[in-house]
Every structure is written in C-alpha cells, then in structure tokens.
Amino acid sequence: MISPMTIAETREKCKNLVSKIPRDALILAILVLASSLSFGLGYLAGLDARQESVSEIRQFTTQEVGAPTESAGVVASKSGTKYYFPQCAGAERITEANKVWFMSASDATAAGYTPAANCKGI
C-alpha cells in the first residue's frame, strides 16, 4: 500500500526533480510552450474573426433586402454564377438556404455574378 505524501514532501520532490533539469533547458521549454500557445490562440482568433465578417455580410444583405419582392433587387445561388430577378423561373428553383440577395444588378455583378441569359427582368 502506498502511503499518502504530505504537501511538504511533494514540494521537496518537485524541487529535487527541477534541480536535476539544467536551468537553460527549463527556460527554453517554457519559452517554446508559451510561444506555441500564443500562436495557437492567435490563429483561432483569426479564424473566428473571419467567420464573423462573413456572417455580417450575409446579415447585411438579408436585412437590407428583406423578403423577396419584385423591387427587392436580384437573387443568386451561393454555388452558382448567375443572378436572377425575383420573378424569373430560375430564381424560384434556388432553395431558400442557398439564396443570396443583392440590392441591385450592379451589386451582384460586383460580387462576381453575371446575368442569367433567360431572365432579362422587367
């Protein structure tokens, strides 16, 4: 049976263990661990900031345009390259989850979309 150690005995064992490690190696190990942790946290913060900016853009477009109407601008698919006016058949085939709304055709063009050939608008 192992007898429990007191706090003083544990502290003494730690001191003996640390005293066997060269001081330079201990400092180097602390620096490497601290810098690795800092880099990892910075990387995660960057990923988080990037995701927030994408969600802000999506919120802006849906809040500005609102529900689809004939005066709402144009709609495109997240995975497509063409934009449609809301009254076009192509716009009706896009699922709600994939719709991206723009205030105008020029906004959609600036985002990299081109007009659909079968949907000229009104």
19 burial type by CB count under 10 A (0-12 exposed, 13-18 middle, 19+ buried): exposed
* Domain 66-122 falls under CATH 3.40.10: yes
pTM over 0.75: no
> What is the tens place of the pLDDT at every residue in 4-62?
889 999 999 988 888 888 888 889 999 999 999 999 988 888 877 776 655 555 555 54
Q: Residue 71 pLDDT more than 80?
A: no
> What is the tens place of the pLDDT at every residue in 83-120?
998 888 888 889 989 999 998 888 889 999 999 888 76
Q: Where are the domains of the chain?
A: 1-56, 66-122
- CA 84 to each of CA 3, 42, 98, 104: distance values in angstroms, whole numbers, following the listed order: 78, 41, 13, 11
